[in-house]
Structure 1
Amino acid sequence: MQYLGQPKSDVAIAKYAVALMILIRILLYLFRQFRIRIRKNENNRMDPPSAPWIPIVGSLPFMGRYPERVIADWGRNRGYGSVFRVRFGTMNAVVLNDLSSIHEAYVKNGHRMSGRIQTSLIQEMTNGNGLIFLDYGDKWRSMRKFGHSAFKSISANEHLNEIIAEESQMLVAALAKQLNNPESTDEYLCGNYKRAHPPQSLKSRYDLNNNAGEWKLLDPEEFMHKATGNVMCNLLFGRSFRKDEEDYNAVLEETPIQARKSASVFMLVFLVPALRGMPYVKDVIDEALCFRKDTFKMIKEVVDQHISDFTELKPESDFVDCFINEMKNVDREDANENSFFTYDQLLTYVFDIFTAGAETTADTLLWGLLYLSRDLKLQAELRKEIINIGGNNFFPSVNHMSKMHLLKATIQEILRIRPINTFGMPRTATERCTINGYDVPKGSVVLPNVWSVHHDPEVFPEPEVFDVRRHINEFGEFVPSKSVVGFSVGPRQCIGKRIADIDIFFILSSIIRNFEFRLPKVWQNSTKSFVYRELDMKGKNGHVLLAPEYDLEWRRIE
């Protein structure tokens, strides 16, 4: 067809020009992809391929609500492989998408892959103290060494066993009391427990006539947060807090609220720092920083009391006492290392452990209860194992852990199927290195896709199916999996892993021994009947992967 007012030859030239431009664009794109995938540098190392991205926002528009799952698909099904670059906003990260690449980066090259990103927001929050956000160097090595030693000493002490066991029994008693009298406010929650639904509304929403007098409705969320918070306080401070200590209880109640409210906003600013000053973003961050100051105030009061009462280190001493002992030990040979043990460092260190440890453990327990509520048969098998090993009057002990193979397998499956930190904490390369043949320059941001490892179908067939038997061998014994890496690996592996394992084991075993719990039935207008409530088991994603809000029906087991 001829354009109006144009000679036929001009029309042909225009068509050829457009075709030539398209061809050039295609060739440039293919050349760029060829360079990314094939080009080798002077050391014979390849650059990692790059996922699709656009300026400023990077690959975020292509990743949806669950970037860890999209990135896992890119690696397995779109040809990007186990190591490739993904732009999270303005941050260009190298993503490790399988176990071998994570092991090569964090274990074989652990000393080269232990840095942390340093931003103005991180500096504002930490002032260069703590542990989680400390960059790789002498101070981090000193604090890591101390923390590992302190936790190892405390976790090996029978006193910790008694603390967590006692807290587990207090939790059981509190749950039983609340179930016997749903209208009451249990002292265990210090009067702050807010039900998701007023008691009078439950009769119309839930089928409470099924096994009337036996099953009672209860939201376990705040019970889990209180239990893990008290364990962490005993670990750090050597004590839990009374119901009349309002500052502490306010902090404990507000911590999960702030975590859920601000996590995604902090991550957004982390990825696109320019958003820090936007009205809504600024308000959320300012509120979170204000809460942080309140938490520091509570920690400071407890630490000051410890310093005032400090006499000598005792075997049953807590984390704060261990740190104060280092502060007061002026005869250390390494004066430079000793200088890291400061008052401000102690406050931030305690804050890091308190907020990270208690929250992640509680969130793991909430996922565990939700999955177990869907399988009463598994609960019965677990209860049988607990009674066979621990007796009818079960009181949890670390000595039981190695003997309860089914329960250990269940906990590992909970950790696998819904890892709380789907990407772990970003690290930076402190030296240039090679991962699976790809060049990772110094300063590169590196992210492990924990979700991808936990849902690798070659390692875990039908990865979205909750199957505890995958962790049991033919002899009925629990098999620890190297492919469950929620606590990370290498030099920056979580120093509280052992304590978290004990905490989850004690609390979950105590609940299963004493209660049966299930998802309630809700009224469905379309069928005019009660059906089991459907929940979004994908979870609520932000910086961490949280279970959906839910209630359970509970029944006491004698």
Structure 2
Amino acid sequence: MAETSTEARTWLLRPPTATELLLVALCWLGCYWLLRRRPRPLSGLPPGPAPWPLVGNFAFALLPPPLLRRWAVDVKGDRLSPAFSPHVFLTGLTKMYGSIFRLFVGNRPFIILNTFGAVREALVQKAEVFSDRPSVPIVLMITHHKGVIFAPYGPVWKQQRKFSLSTLRHFGVGRHSLEPKIIEELNFVKEEMLKHGKNSFNPFPIIRNAVSNIICSMAFGKRFNYEDEEFKTMLKNMARALELSVNSYMILVNICPWLYYLPFGPFRELRQTELDITAFLKRIIAQHRDTLDAANPRDFIDMYFIHAEEEKNNKESSFNDDYLFFIIGDLFIAGTDTTSNTLLWCLLYMSLYPEVQEKVHAEIEAVLGRDKVPSLAHKAQMPFTEATIMEVQRMTAVVPLSIPRMASETAVLQGYTIPKGSVIVPNLWSVHRDPNIWEKPDEFQPSRFLDENGQLIKKESFIPFGMGKRVCMGEQLAKMELFLIFSSLMQSFTFMYPENAAKPSMEGRVAAASGHTVVLVDQSDEILKKSTKGIEDSLKRVIKKKFADNPEAGAEFIKKTLKNVTTSTDAASVVHSTDLVIEAIVENLEVKNKLFKTLDKFAPEHTIFASNTSSLQITKMANATTRQDRFGGLHFFNPVPMMKLVEVIKTPMTSQKTFESLVDFSKAVGKSPVSCKDTPGFIVNRLLVPYMMEAVRLFERGDASKEDIDVAMKLGAGYPMGPFELLDYVGLDTSKYIIDGWHSLEPNNPLFAPSPLLNKLVEEKKLGKKTGEGFYKYK
């Protein structure tokens, strides 16, 4: 042991061996090779972050998903920090690099377009250059570049897309002739929903079944029963394949294609799922070929067979069974997942915004009544319903990043040189949240799509289906389904979120008021028990007034409220699942900063921090964290259950989105928020504390007794409490801490001069009502 230790300690003192010199040389050569392999931004490219050797800007993709979720990056200020969604991450990068920037995947530049102007220039004005698809290994392995969605731009793609669109129109897409099939499916949807009675349920499987069946009726010539095992397996496999293909492990396949063939994990599962889908679709295609009647085509497959036969002598024809297989898959991709998810979001927004749901109901009642079946003919008479659907599409952007395009030749875009082969990624999420186009873009406002007369406005920057030559093939079908299904469901039902269920966070937007589930955190269980008891006692006082005529309802109110309150002594262990953290500890900046710095390490990226301080600067607390833009003040007033006011404090760094979320939260808990900049004392205390201190000085000088001062202010000024009663209620230590802090900031301001009498009472632990004595004595 001793010899080994000596050897280790003296290694640097002896001459290196030849082997050791060789290893050092190889290390240096390896580092030099990696640096030489590092992607070098080409001249004229948009700005962007420096890439890593070999992997470019996506080194984090090498992490396993659990770590990826923890360490994915977003932009805060001038650095990267944890985030969760690629489209939010890319939108955040605009703060550093502008509205168009580049990233590298390996050595390949990816150009991210974040504004409507950039997207329109690329996809419409220069469509011939930017309509191709990049050759991405994972996509190539799954689709073989066939079908329509992922196929390269060219004559074959044009043939297949033209036929697909004309055949869909033949079967009624965009026309009234398809309505009966949609309405028929809606009857099954309503029947399934009614089975749940008044019990809560997840509507997504029912909606997905319906939307999928509409595609099946056009593609296969039949609909499936919702309990059909073959149908359920097909939907399950297609959903799973889509989920696996965008799994973070699959990003690695684009860097190391051989990973796709690994015999384990998600790689093996994706290949098996593909085989199952292939077997299902090819079995149906074979059945159609065996039963084809060219004089009476039943569906899309029959029409494809007939057209392929007509074109068999055309050397330029690309119509064959392989292409048919992939086009059927494209129909389900284009027509099922996005429409189902949009409808689910519609129902969710209606349950969370009942005032909007009421307006939709009112419009439907006026136009359709209870018995009239919705039709596309009614669309023009129902502008608010249509505007609501459009606003849901804008807010959610179920395809936030449009399927990438590729530059087929070198071109200039937004003043930058885009080399041939570059990948173009339109960020539709960013376009639909652009504050330069959309006023208060993070607010759900259907009225933004209506003019002053309540008529629908067509906004060119509203592009949920993309733009240009490769606009979504299922756009017209989706628009039909969205209007007919949503209006029919609204005609028949009122959707409400389960009363005791935590509300979901809305993607891309911090729903600070989601859930109202509270975790009370303090230093010891004893303090927490007292705090919980204090909340219960406070609620009992409230219900004496609020539920004076119905004590049973009051008791139930207390029960439900306390059910939403849990406690913990470990803030770090509970903050990971929060949307909003409100601090209300001792008025000591150092202590508060220490707490916020700790919580900042464990809280999710979207979590907003707020302080309930009545006197300290919010900015100084925000600077102790990495989330200055998600930091603000929420100053409640005692007694909180009774006092309606909340001061919402916005620092120079607080984002508008955060500020609006804090205002929304205040309203959601029944308060009346007022806004204020981060100035000492905010509004109320800035006026109130100097008033109380002047009362103390008036008493100190012997100009009037504290009792007379209190009576004078109550009777003369109409205040409910006199200044000395209020000081005792607030706590003399709190008032002293406030005035001392202000005095240190502005020592020459006479309004902030300390009071010897107040200092003396605090030193004697006479702090007011909470200690039994302050300016007055209490039992």
> Normalising by the residue count of structure 2, what TM-score does the alignment of the two structures yield?
0.55
Q: How does 1:382-393 map to 2 (within 5 A)?
A: 382-393=360-371
8 Å contact from structure 1 (residues 91, 271) kept in 2: no
Match status 1:462 vs 2:470: no
Distance 1:411 1:482 in 2: 16
The correspondence for 2:291, drawn from 305, 309, 321, is 309
**Aligned counterpart for 2:90 among listed residues 71, 77, 81:** 71
Residue from 219, 225, 239 that aligns with 2:202 = 219
- Residue 158 (structure 1) shift: 3.8
2:191 match: 173
Alpha-carbon separation, structure 2, partners of 1:404 and 1:348: 37
What's the CA shift string for 1:33-63, capped at 9, x where partnerless? xx979x6xxxxxx332223433344334544
Corresponding residue to 1:100 among 99, 117, 121: 117
Aligned residue for 2:385? 407
Q: Which amino acid in 2 is paired with 1:104?
A: E
How far off is 1:91 after superposition? 4.3
Q: Structure 2 CA distance, aligned partners of 1:337 and 1:420? A: 37
The structure showing larger relative contact order (alpha-carbon pairs under 8 Å, at least 6 residues apart) is 1
SS of residue matched to 1:434: strand
Distance in 2 (CA, whole Å) between partners of 1:277 and 1:252 is: 23
1:222-371 correspondence runs (5 A): 222-242=205-225, 245-265=228-248, 268-269=251-252, 271-273=254-256, 276=259, 283-312=265-294, 317-330=298-311, 335-338=314-317, 340-371=318-349
Tell me what 2:49 maps to.
Answer: 51
The DSSP-based 3-state class of the residue aligned with 2:252 is: helix
Larger radius of gyration: 2
Give the corresponding residue for 1:22. Answer: none
CA contact (8 A) 2:285 2:301 kept: yes
Residues 1:497 and 2:516 are matched in the alignment: no
Instruction: Specify the code of the residue in structure 2 equivalent to 1:67.
Output: P
Q: Which residue of 1 aligns with 2:560?
A: 529
Q: 1:330 to 1:132 in 2, by over 3 A?
A: closer
Secondary structure of the residue aligned to 1:110 is: coil
What amino acid maps onto 1:442 in structure 2? K
> Could you tell me which residue of structure 2 aligns to residue 434 of structure 1?
412
Structure 1 pair 321/535, CA: closer, same or farther in 2 (3 Å)? farther
Q: Give CA deviations for 1:396-450 in whole Å, capped at 9, x if unaligned.
A: 2121223211111111111111111211111111122111111112111111011
Q: Distance between the aligned counterparts of 2:226 and 2:85, measured in 1?
A: 39
Percentage of pairs with the same residue: 28
Q: For this pair of structures, how many residues does the alignment match?
A: 458
Q: 1:516: Cα distance to partner?
A: 1.1
2:471 equivalent to 1:507:
no
In 1, Cα distance between the equivalents of 2:382 and 2:497?
25
Gap change, CA 1:220 and 1:434, over 3 Å in 2: same
User: Are the aligned partners of 1:91 and 1:272 in contact in 2 as well (CA < 8 Å)?
Assistant: no
1:285 alignment partner AA? F
Alpha-carbon offset, residue 267 of structure 1: 5.2
Q: Residues 119-147 of structure 1, C-alpha deviation per residue, up to 9 Å, x if partnerless?
A: 44333222332112111122111111112
**Residue type of the partner of 1:122?**
V
Offset from partner CA, 1:341-379 (integer Å, 9 cap, x none): 101110111012113421111111122221111111211
| Equivalent-residue separation in structure 1 for 2:477 and 2:271 (angstroms) | 28
Counterpart AA for 1:298: F
Q: 1:443 aligns with which of 421, 425, 445?
A: 421
CA distance, structure 1, for counterparts of residue 257 and residue 226 of structure 2: 43
2:518/2:564 contact within 8 Å kept: no
**Corresponding position of 1:191:** none
Deviation at 1:159, TM superposition (A): 3.6
Residues 151, 495 of structure 1: 8 Å contact kept: no
Could you tell me how far apart the structure 1 residues matched to 2:578 and 2:491 are?
Answer: 25
2:180 — aligned with what?
A: 162
Aligned in 2, Cα 1:463/1:431: closer, same or farther, shift over 3 Å?
same
Structure 1 residues 321 and 379: alpha-carbon distance in aligned structure 2, compared to 1, 3 A threshold: same
Deviation sequence 1:214-248 (CA, Å, 0-9, x none): x4211112112111111111121121123574222
Contact 1:50-1:84 at 8 Å conserved across structures: yes
Post-superposition shift, 1:393? 0.9
3-state SS of the aligned residue for 1:529? helix
CA shift, 1:65, in A, is 1.7
Contact 1:102/1:448 (<8 A) preserved: yes
Instruction: In structure 1, give the amino acid aligned to 2:285.
Output: V
Distance 1:490 1:266 in 2: 31
RMSD: 3.1
Q: Are the aligned partners of 1:165 and 1:397 in contact in 2 as well (CA < 8 Å)?
A: no
Partner Cα distance (1:423, 1:166) in 2: 33
Structure 2, gaps ≥5 residues long:
1-39, 61-72, 75-82, 502-516, 520-534, 536-558, 566-576, 581-603, 607-779
Quick one: which amino acid aligns to residue 111 of structure 1? Answer: E
Change (3 A) 1:55 1:418: farther
In structure 2, C-alpha distance between the alignment counterparts of 1:525 and 1:451, rounded to whole Å:
31
Question: How far off its partner does 1:116 sit?
Answer: 1.1
The 8 Å contact of residues 234 and 240 in structure 1, kept in 2 or not, is answered as: yes
- 1:185-221 deviations in Å (ceiling 9; x for gaps): xxxxxxxxxxxxxxxxxxxxxxxxxxxxxx4211112
Deviation at 1:475, TM superposition (A): 1.1
Per-residue displacement from partner, 1:501-536 (whole Å, max 9, x unpaired)? 111112111211111112223285757535899997
CA distance in 2, matches of 1:170, 1:236: 20
Contact 1:296 1:351 in 2 (8 A): no
Kept in 1: contact 2:335–2:477 (CA 8 A): no
CA distance in 1, matches of 2:230, 2:310: 32
C-alpha deviation, 1:81, in angstroms: 2.5
Q: 1:251 deviation in Å?
A: 1.2
CA distance in 2: counterparts of 1:309 and 1:535, whole angstroms: 58
Instruction: Choose the corresponding residue for 2:103, options 59, 82, 86.
Output: 86
SS in 2 for 1:217: coil
Match of 1:20 in 2: none
Match in the other structure for 1:210: none
